[in-house]
Each structure stands twice: as structure tokens, then as C-alpha cells.
A = this chain, B = another copy of it.
Amino acid sequence: MSEPHILIVDDARDIREPLATYLKSQGFRVSLAASAADGRAAVEDGAVSLVVLDVMMPGENGLSLCRWLTARGGPPTILLTAMADEADRIVGLELGADDYVVKPFNPRELLARIRAVLRRVPQMAATQPAGRRRFAGFLHDADARTLTRGGGEPVALTSAENRLLCVLLDRPGQVLTRDQLLDLTAGREAKPYDRAIDNQVSRLRRKLGEDPRMPAIIVTEWGGGYRLAAEVVAEGDT
């Protein structure tokens, strides 16, 4: 379908550009950003599979962007740095980085590490953020916020329902905790006894026409969270 999309965030053009050329030659799609802020924007635009991130940059620190990515459950991160200090490596990894490569680096090693990380990441984690997708006999249009049964009449979704469904469709089969869902759909932390997600799930299930006895599309993992149990395929224009 599509090659993985790598975002390189580094203020030094003489690192950024040769690396981009090399990765493109290896079949990746590559985007560039010269600052943490640009990198953040690029990630929010969507469809980034992995971020290669320089730690030392003027302005916002690379580590802080890394932490932000981790907290959001965003794409995986490989940190890049001139510092060989072991303590820095450990801090980086503990912050949520998936790997840590020291400059100067052999591009082939970085490539191998990129592949190793991507191999382990549920590939759907960073696909298209929107569009039309088909699942379990439904067609979901994220832009129009509608849900159409195989046959006919479209059902309107509220914006919260639409966000929840998008998040689930982005990660089919993956169990998401209430905390993650809250963060991803509303961008907020859970209060004590927060049942907002349970309700959204309940409402969405109803619109999906689920059997309350036996939900087959949005499945509850007891003590864990929720999971989408359906195959999802992106839909082109019709």
C-alpha cells in the first residue's frame, strides 16, 4: 500500500539532507523538519511512521518533543545525538525513545535500527488520519462524520463519536485503555471514576447496531480497555 514515512528532525542541514537522500533511496518516504516545533506540526499533520530526532537543537529540546510523542502514543522515535555519554542514552530511552544512535553514525546501522523498530510497531499505528474506511459491513467517512451500512441510509455521528471511532479504526485489534482513549479523543486526563469513555463506547455501539449481549465490533477487554475487532480497509473514492 504505502512505504513507511520517516520524519527527520534536525537543525543541521548537512545531516538532515544526506540522510533523507539515503533513506529515500532505500524506499522510504521522508519528510524534514529543522526544529522541534516544525516536527510537532509534521506529526500532527499525520501519517508519520517513525521520527528520527536530534536531541541537541536550538529552541525546543529534542527530548521534550520525544516525551510529547510518547505521551500521545504517537509514532516511535529514534534519538540521534553527538553525545556518547551513557547517562544521556539512558535518559533518552527512559523518556520513551525506541532507540538511541550516536553521531557520527553509519547510515546503514541507522537504517537497520529503523527497520527493527518498524518491524515491531503495529503498522497501522500511523496511517492516514482521516478518509473513508470500510469495516464490519460499514463505511465510515471521517470527514463527513457519517456511518453507512452496506445497504443504504447514512447515520450521522457526533463529533466525539467520530473521534472515538477514528482512534479505534486507526488501531484495529489493539487494546486501548480508557486513559489512552481519553487522551487521544479529548486530549485530557482521566478524573477519578471517569466514565466518559464508557458512555461514548456505549453510544457508538448503539449506532453500530451491536447486540448488547455480545458486542462483536467494539470488544471490552475486562480490566483493560476496548479493542476494535474488525478488519479495516481504507476506501478510495467511489
Binding site for B on A (CB under 8 A): 76, 86, 89-90, 93-94, 96-99, 106, 108-109, 112-113, 115-117, 119-123, 127, 130, 143-146, 154, 156, 158-160, 173-175, 213-214, 216, 219-224, 227, 229-230
Query: In the complex, which residues of chain B have a beta carbon less than 8 angstroms from the beta carbon of A86?
Result: 106, 108-109
A221-B159, A224-B159 are contacts. A214–B146 as well, Cβ < 8 Å? yes
| Contacting pair B219 A158 (CB below 8 A) | no
A120-B120, A175-B122 are contacts. A112–B99 as well, Cβ < 8 Å? no
A143-B229, A219-B145 are contacts. A117–B120 as well, Cβ < 8 Å? yes
| Contacting pair A216 B146 (CB below 8 A) | yes
Query: In the complex, which residues of chain B have a beta carbon less than 8 angstroms from the beta carbon of A96?
Result: 116, 119
Nearest-CB distance from A185 to chain B (Å)? Answer: 12
Partner of A98 from B120, B159, B174, B223 at Cβ < 8 Å? B120
Nearest-CB distance from A69 to chain B (Å)? Answer: 12
Nearest-CB distance from A31 to chain B (Å)? Answer: 21
A214-B156, A229-B145 are contacts. A93–B120 as well, Cβ < 8 Å? no
